[in-house]
Amino acid sequence: MQPSTLFVGVDISKAELVICIAGQRPCSIANDAASIRAWLRTVPAHALIAMESTGRYHALLAQLAYQAGLQVYVLNARDVFFYARALGTRAKTDAVDAVVIARYLEQHHCALASLAPRQRHPAAAAGIARAPCTGSGASNRLDPGVCRRADGAQLAGLNAAFQALLKSIDAQVQRLIDSDARMARGYRLLLTITGIGPQSGALLTTLFSRLEFANADALVGYSGLDPRANDSGTRHGRRRLSKKGPALLRRQMWLAGFSASRSKLFAPWYQTLRAKGFASTEAIVIMGRKLLRVAFAVWKSDQAFDSQKLGPKPA
């Protein structure tokens, strides 16, 4: 007789994990490797474990649970938040959150994707590739008081240090990509796409190396660039982006779309979108979404970008 599935919800914080096994009272353990390993030894093999994505604090539990042979689910915190609101929970505590996560897993696990193993190089590159986007804006967010008290030479030196740091990070990303033959070839092919530069190419390379997408629609849905319908009866409401996926990917594709809109190849299409009444930001988002589909096709086909396959040029 097959044992019934055990649903485990874990609320993550920096110091501790609050654990709820469906139908049982929540308990807590320290968020460190020794405590997690000791607890995992008590968890049966048929258990499913879910946790919210909490930056880096959930990574240790997810990794150790996966290595222990358990099915692990990392949930979108926003989805769980609205699910808890729909349940009408009267309070918000760590124990309540763990109960909600366990209940969410029990009801929706058939539609969720469990954690998949990540290769060493893509995972490392993905972590580093996030830094240039963060660092490039850091120099522009200095405290105004500091800027007023510093002279031009000091600010110039600080900016030079930022640029040196970004170049160092870019070099690390490039070394990681070059260390894997498949990633290196895919990266070079992605750079043949008009609008895709080194930073966008590195991000897409690590994404395609880490995750397998069934088709381009799945990729667009993952990115959060898919328009969300808002209809009721005969009313057709305004479409807005779902923004379900990583904000970094959306930001990078927006930048790629912006770059492409200034190119000889895509400028006519951009002007056509503007003539149809789309705002400049909307037109660039549409172009970024198109470039994401093109990047997927280039990666899957293992062929360089061919502008002739884009279809008829806009009037």
Domain harbouring 33, CATH code: 3.30.420.40
Per the model's pLDDT, the better-predicted residue between 229 and 27 turns out to be 27
Report the distance separating Cα 147 and Cα 161, nearest Å: 15
* Residue 94 shares a structural domain with residue 224: no
Q: Tell me which of 73, 90, 111 is where a domain ends.
A: 111
Give burial (CB, 10 Å; 0-12/13-18/19+) of 100. Answer: buried
Q: Are 17 and 29 in contact (CB under 8 A)?
A: yes
Asked whether the predicted pLDDT for residue 118 surpasses 80, the reply is no
Beta strands at 47-52 and 6-12: parallel, antiparallel or unpaired: parallel
Is 149 inside a domain boundary?
no
The pLDDT of 233-262, averaged and rounded, is 90
Residue whose entry in the numeric block shows the structure tokens 């400049």: 280
pLDDT at 148: 63
pLDDT at 135: 47
* Residue 166 shares a structural domain with residue 302: yes
pLDDT at 291: 95
* Residue 197 shares a structural domain with residue 302: yes
Is 146 inside a domain boundary?
no
* Residue 185 shares a structural domain with residue 251: yes
* Residue 215 shares a structural domain with residue 270: yes
Q: Grade residue 235 by pLDDT with cuts at 50, 70 and 90.
A: confident
Helices (H), ranges, 211-246: 216-223
Which element (helix H / strand E) includes 195? none
Report the distance separating Cα 86 and Cα 28, nearest Å: 26
Asked whether the predicted pLDDT for residue 125 surpasses 60, the reply is no
User: Average model confidence (pLDDT) for the chain?
Assistant: 85
* Residue 29 shares a structural domain with residue 172: no
Domain range enclosing 202: 120-140+159-231+239-310
Amino acid at 164: A
Asked whether the predicted pLDDT for residue 7 surpasses 60, the reply is yes
**Within a 10 A sphere around the Cβ of 146, how many other Cβ atoms?**
11
* Residue 261 shares a structural domain with residue 172: yes
pLDDT at 1: 41
Is 267 inside a domain boundary?
yes
Is 147 inside a domain boundary?
no
Dihedral sign from CA coordinates of 168, 172, 177, 178: positive
* Residue 136 shares a structural domain with residue 105: no
Is 12 inside a domain boundary?
yes
Is 247 inside a domain boundary?
yes
Number of domains in the chain: 2
pLDDT at 283: 94
pLDDT at 5: 86
Percent pLDDT > 70 in the chain is 86
Cβ-based neighbours of 261, under 8 Å, separated by 6 or more: 267, 270, 283, 284, 287
Is 10 inside a domain boundary?
yes
Q: Which of 14-28, 41-55, 146-160, 250-264 has the lowest mean pLDDT?
A: 146-160
* Residue 183 shares a structural domain with residue 285: yes
Per the model's pLDDT, the better-predicted residue between 155 and 188 turns out to be 188
Beta strands at 231-232 and 6-12: parallel, antiparallel or unpaired: unpaired
Asked whether the predicted pLDDT for residue 81 surpasses 60, the reply is yes
Is 1 inside a domain boundary?
no
Distance of CA 26 to CAs 14, 19, 29, 81, 156, Å? 18, 5, 10, 19, 54
Q: Grade residue 123 by pLDDT with cuts at 50, 70 and 90.
A: very low
Beta strands at 240-241 and 227-228: parallel, antiparallel or unpaired: antiparallel
* Residue 124 shares a structural domain with residue 68: no
* Residue 101 shares a structural domain with residue 163: no
pLDDT at 193: 95
DSSP one-letter code for 127: H
Distance of CA 91 to CAs 96, 97, 144, 216, Å? 7, 9, 40, 40
* Residue 164 shares a structural domain with residue 77: no
